[in-house]
């Protein structure tokens, strides 16, 4: 959803970069944590920058850390990232926090397909970023249910068909077996429109807000949710990495069920289960069976 920019947003944007056509642009309101003011541009051209506006004070409080992370990591990546182009502005009339960022061109890859060799190069590139660059800015695991508690398990088992409950249990056992096995840079949402492609070439990655120190196989699991689980094996650096990535695919699927159940369900549970159950089976066979053997 978009809207016209407010006068206070225009005032702040012009302060940070008076050369851009802010009044001819729009505000993208789709994000839960941020608004994005996109300036106008000539037909066929991309804007040079966008203004990111925090929705809430607690989000603004994280901006300095996130900006520091982007500045530290960007020089080590071969693709573009939304590098900060200004200092962080706090407590402005327009927003609790804001920063001018580089606009990253490109679009989402077609879902359910992708070149495993290219996707493998993505996870390898993230693994190659020196830990000294990102460790001062990264958080720990960003999903509070990384360790499944009894209430979460009961919620999920209550909405799964009986024949799939053993599959869920196997995935939880596998996740427990790999806990703490590996730690590295995890993007946090490496899929969909956060990856900017030009045809088959990856040219940028955006939305690093959930970057954390966690199991790097999560990067591949997120890629698999968009490109398809068939890429996990050929895109993995090794067999153990593939097994962990498969288990994280299962984790994401189970967590989606838990969140839907706790939020009051979805209108079409059958549709959600048709999407989820094959991922659970994949995670149990390619993940849990391998690590628990």
Tell me the domain boundaries of the chain: 2-102, 116-292
Domain 2-102 grouped into CATH 3.30.200.20: yes
Range from 60-64, 145-149, 178-182, 183-187 carrying the lowest mean pLDDT: 145-149
- CA–CA dist 174, 284 (Å, integer): 8
Measured from the Cβ of residue 17, the count of other Cβ atoms closer than 10 Å reads 15
Q: Which of 236, 253, 242, 229 is nearest to 291 (CA)?
A: 242
Backbone angles phi and psi of 69, in degrees to 5: -60, -50
> Chain-centre distance of CA 116, in angstroms?
19
Tell me, what's the pLDDT at 43?
86
Is the pTM for the entire model greater than 0.85? yes
Per the model's pLDDT, the better-predicted residue between 234 and 142 turns out to be 234
Q: Which of 240, 236, 214 is nearest to 122 (CA)?
A: 236
The pLDDT tens digits of the residues spanning 86-95 come to 999 999 999 9
Tell me, what's the pLDDT at 128?
97
How big, in percent rounded to 5, are the helix, strand and coil portions of the chain? 50, 20, 35
The domain 116-292: what is its CATH number?
A: 3.90.1200.10
Asked whether the predicted pLDDT for residue 32 surpasses 90, the reply is: no
Asked whether the predicted pLDDT for residue 141 surpasses 90, the reply is: no
Tell me, what's the pLDDT at 143?
59
Tell me, what's the pLDDT at 268?
83
């Amino acid at each position: 959803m978009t809207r016209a920019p407010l006068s206070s947003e225009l005032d702040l944007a012009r302060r940070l970069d008076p050369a851009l056509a802010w009044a001819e642009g729009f505000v993208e309101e789709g994000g839960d944590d941020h608004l994005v003011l996109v300036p106008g541009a000539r037909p066929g051209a991309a804007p040079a920058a966008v203004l990111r506006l925090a929705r809430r004070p607690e989000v603004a409080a994280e901006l300095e850390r996130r900006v520091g992370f982007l500045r530290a990591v960007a020089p080590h990546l071969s693709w573009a990232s939304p590098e900060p182009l200004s200092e962080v502005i706090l407590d402005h009339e327009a927003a609790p926090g804001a920063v001018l960022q580089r606009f990253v061109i490109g679009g989402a890859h077609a879902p359910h397909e992708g070149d495993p060799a290219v996707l493998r190069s993505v996870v390898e590139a993230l693994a190659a970023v020196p830990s000294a660059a990102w460790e001062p800015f990264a958080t720990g695991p960003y999903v509070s249910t990384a360790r499944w508690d009894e209430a979460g398990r009961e919620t999920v088992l209550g909405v799964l068909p009986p024949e799939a409950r053993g599959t869920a249990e196997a995935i939880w056992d596998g996740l427990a077996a790999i806990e703490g096995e590996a730690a590295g840079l995890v993007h946090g949402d490496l899929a969909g429109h956060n990856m900017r492609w030009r045809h088959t070439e990856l040219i940028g990655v955006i939305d690093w807000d959930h970057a954390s120190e966690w199991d790097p196989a999560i990067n591949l699991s997120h890629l698999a949710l968009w490109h398809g689980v068939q890429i996990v094996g050929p895109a993995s650096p090794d067999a153990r990495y593939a097994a962990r990535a498969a288990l994280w695919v299962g984790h994401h699927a189970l967590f989606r069920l838990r969140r839907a159940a706790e939020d009051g369900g979805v209108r079409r549970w059958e549709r959600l289960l048709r999407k989820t159950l094959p991922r659970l089976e994949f995670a149990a066979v390619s993940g849990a069976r391998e690590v628990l053997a």
